[in-house]
Amino acid sequence: MGVRIIVTGGTFDKEYNELTGQLFFRNTHVAEMLERGRSRVAVEVETPMMIDSLEMTDADRARIIDRCRFAAERSIVITHGTDTMVETARALAGARIEGKTIVLTGAMIPYAFGSSDGLFNLGSALSFVQVLAPDVYVAMNGKYFRWDGVRKDRETGFFEAN
Amino acid sequence: MGVRIIVTGGTFDKEYNELTGQLFFRNTHVAEMLERGRSRVAVEVETPMMIDSLEMTDADRARIIDRCRFAAERSIVITHGTDTMVETARALAGARIEGKTIVLTGAMIPYAFGSSDGLFNLGSALSFVQVLAPDVYVAMNGKYFRWDGVRKDRETGFFEAN
Amino acid sequence: MGVRIIVTGGTFDKEYNELTGQLFFRNTHVAEMLERGRSRVAVEVETPMMIDSLEMTDADRARIIDRCRFAAERSIVITHGTDTMVETARALAGARIEGKTIVLTGAMIPYAFGSSDGLFNLGSALSFVQVLAPDVYVAMNGKYFRWDGVRKDRETGFFEAN
Amino acid sequence: MGVRIIVTGGTFDKEYNELTGQLFFRNTHVAEMLERGRSRVAVEVETPMMIDSLEMTDADRARIIDRCRFAAERSIVITHGTDTMVETARALAGARIEGKTIVLTGAMIPYAFGSSDGLFNLGSALSFVQVLAPDVYVAMNGKYFRWDGVRKDRETGFFEAN
């Protein structure tokens, strides 16, 4: 059936505006990343929002939940800013979407900056989503965590079991 | 217990010699790649050989089998040239190593060349190895294949179910 | 006699802090860039400051002037933020430093981001400084401009004759 | 009047064929490199050949000489493989093309490999060609050399005064 990829923004997709010196969102890099990874997984990519996860509202989370609930696919990867990724995972779990494996991932360094962890994380999330049992997970740092068993350590930027 | 990564060479780890214009092996890039991916998976990396997989002999395969058999870890990733990856997977399966999940991966473009699929593949293989049942697999193009269900399409360079 | 390179910061040398999502200065990338460019020009690199050029004060400019005046070399490249590069060039010209060719350059995108113009600009500035007559110049966009004949177009980010 | 850029191939423009593992030529990267360098120098790019400089024949050199002789521009950059760059420079000098500054440059590592010296060299050559007196030069390693005063050290890959 393939995998649905829901892009929500986050560091993953940020770019550098050379005129202002600010980071901003333009288009998602997911398609380019899948091409670089030579991925042959059947995917549908949608981009309901492109925002910093610190700005994600309850309404945004409700939209993401709806997208997951009504997606035809049983395997869903969500790219998301790392700051509130765990919070969105919790909201998704609370929505009790039956029979779907949902994996959230992101990046600490924008893909566009060359030295990003994004390509590794996308390969990881796309793999976990194909084999994990239905539930909501976070895939970061090469590991997967169930939604209620993870926190981001803000000092180090690593995700770890809580 | 962590994951053992057995490096055998392949395009994954090739570099460009600017004096001769030839590709060659120096050191593996696996540690650098795991750092870029910000991986926190406990790994042991060993490099029993650094060769082009077209040059891999039965004796080389026997060494790889031994490494897998006597590894303390139950999860093993092998980086390998793509040309004979399926053949090595078959040899490993024939060795009937009990209770271990072994995932072979590689790259079509050297990691050192910037535009490589290697980081994606390493993220993918490291993820699959943590969740798949004991057996021998190939992880390429974002997918996993059981050792007896895969072939490399030499026209396209993609791995596919056979 | 070689070329003195005076590093003052600017976008050229900015890096991304993955924990805060902010750009910041750590060490200059000039040595790494010269190595990538396989440069064999004899250079002395000094880093009197690492600042955003919008924060450059008259006192900072006085220090840069002193460094140029007392440098043993007759050829000097200054890496500098683009926003006030022309202003610093004017200050240097006003200091009437005899017998020295001074070329300011910078970048619109940090070298660390991979897609930077910095390596091109450094190659350009280092070349112009070896052949231009003593005076103060700006080298950007593959061109050189005398200090009193250039402005930065803030809409486009390009330097042009004024 | 601007600068004419004559592309002849060389390591500069080589790419990696992921199916064969061989290096090959497709299109020149010069336009992409000028864009990355944010160059605003008026240029005309032509690609009379895309070859390894070890394969360059007298007939090829005669074509390059013709292109230089009949170019409208007085400033010409030639991208060229490094192995016989000095030989082509000598042939150009022997052709006694009046009133033109011709600068040959190249790279030791393909631009497509990310860690290339090519962008630095292109910035350098494009700068030297705008200010040097009419004659034939090689621009490599951040320096320029008159055609009869340079050799490539095959042990180190550096160009140096002979």
Chain A neighbors of C84, CB-CB under 8 A: none
To test the contact with chain A by mutation, choose from C12, C14, C15, C18 the residue with the greatest count of A C-beta atoms within 10 A, namely C18
pLDDT in tens, A65-75: 999 999 999 99
Does residue A1 surpass a pLDDT of 90? Answer: no
ipTM above threshold 0.90 = yes
Long-range contacts of A39-42 (CB under 8 A, 24+ apart): A39/A126, A39/B120, A39/B141, A39/B142, A40/B141, A40/B142, A40/B143, A40/B158, A40/B159, A40/B160, A41/A2, A41/A3, A41/A126, A41/A130, A41/B141, A41/B142, A41/B143, A42/A1, A42/A2, A42/A3
Distance CA B146, CA B45 (A): 23
Helix (H), strand (E) at residue D92: helix D85-94
Nearby residues of A107 by Cβ (< 8 Å), 6 or more positions away: A10, A11, A12, A82, A116, A117, A118, A121
Among candidates C16, C19, C156 on the partner chain, residue whose Cβ is nearest the Cβ of A157: C19
Among candidates B11, B115, B156 on the partner chain, residue whose Cβ is nearest the Cβ of D21: B11
Distance CA B31, CA B42 (A): 12
What is the total residue count of chain B?
A: 162
C143 touches chain D (CB under 8 A): yes
pLDDT in tens, B92-147: 999 999 999 999 999 999 999 989 999 999 999 999 999 999 999 999 999 999 99
Tell me the average pLDDT across D103-112: 97
Does residue B44 surpass a pLDDT of 90? Answer: yes
Q: Compute φ and ψ for D116, nearest 5 degrees.
A: -75, 150
Residue type, B139: A
Q: How many CB atoms lie within 10 A of CB A156?
A: 12
Chain C neighbors of A110, CB-CB under 8 A: 16
Report pLDDT for C46: 97
- Residue keyed to tokens 């890039």: B29
User: What's the Rg (C-alpha) of chain D?
Assistant: 15
Chain A neighbors of B40, CB-CB under 8 A: 141-143, 158-160
Diameter of chain A measured on Cα atoms: 47
Nearest-by-CA chain A residue for B156: A38
Does residue B88 surpass a pLDDT of 80? Answer: yes
pLDDT in tens, A105-147: 999 999 999 899 999 999 999 999 999 999 999 999 999 999 9
Chain C neighbors of D130, CB-CB under 8 A: 143-144
pLDDT in tens, A88-111: 999 999 999 999 999 999 999 999
Q: Is C49 helix (H, G, I), strand (E, B) or coil?
A: coil
C117 touches chain D (CB under 8 A): yes
Nearest-by-CA chain D residue for C159: D40
Report pLDDT for D152: 98
Chain D neighbors of C127, CB-CB under 8 A: 123-125, 127-128, 139, 142, 144
pLDDT band at D54 (very low <50, low <70, confident <90, very high): very high
Angle among Cα D146, D151, D157 to the nearest 5 degrees reads: 125
Chain A neighbors of B131, CB-CB under 8 A: 128, 131-132, 144
Partner-chain contact A18 C108, CB within 8 Å:
yes
Q: How many helices (H) and strands (E) does chain C have?
A: 4, 10
Distance CA D142, CA D88 (A): 20
Two tokens, residue A31: 């398609």
Ordered alpha helix ranges (H), C71-147: 85-94, 118-131
Chain C neighbors of A154, CB-CB under 8 A: 19
pLDDT in tens, D84-101: 999 999 999 999 999 999
Report pLDDT for C56: 97
Partner-chain contact B16 D110, CB within 8 Å:
yes
Q: In this prediction, what percent of chain A has a pLDDT beyond 70?
A: 100
Report pLDDT for B1: 72
In the stretch 53-82 of chain A, residues with CB closer than 8 A to chain B read none
Does residue A15 surpass a pLDDT of 80? Answer: yes
In the stretch 2-31 of chain A, residues with CB closer than 8 A to chain C read 11, 16, 18-19, 21, 23
Report pLDDT for A124: 98
- Touching subunits of C (3+ CB pairs, under 8 Å) are A, D
Distance CA B12, CA B109 (A): 7
Does residue D153 surpass a pLDDT of 90? Answer: yes
Distances C71 to A9, A35, C41, C74 between C-alpha atoms, Å: 49, 51, 17, 8
Does residue D1 surpass a pLDDT of 90? Answer: no
Q: Count CB pairs under 8 A between chains A and C.
A: 40
Partner-chain contact B109 D18, CB within 8 Å:
yes
Chain D neighbors of B12, CB-CB under 8 A: none
Tell me the average pLDDT across D52-75: 97
Q: Which of B145, D41, B16, A76 is nearest to C124 (CA)?
A: D41
Report pLDDT for D65: 98
Residue type, B124: S
Angle among Cα D52, D57, D60 to the nearest 5 degrees reads: 85
- Residue keyed to tokens 């350098």: D124
Two tokens, residue D144: 């320029």
pLDDT in tens, B54-86: 999 999 999 999 999 999 999 999 999 999 999
What is the total residue count of chain C?
A: 162
Evaluate whether C105 touches C80 at the Cβ level (below 8 Å).
yes
Nearest-by-CA chain C residue for A157: C19
B51 touches chain D (CB under 8 A): no
Per-residue pLDDT 10s for chain C (162 aa) are: 799 999 999 999 999 999 999 999 999 999 999 999 999 999 999 999 999 999 999 999 999 999 999 999 999 999 999 999 999 999 999 999 999 999 999 999 999 998 999 999 999 999 999 999 999 999 999 999 999 999 999 999 999 999
Among candidates B11, B21, B112 on the partner chain, residue whose Cβ is nearest the Cβ of D11: B21
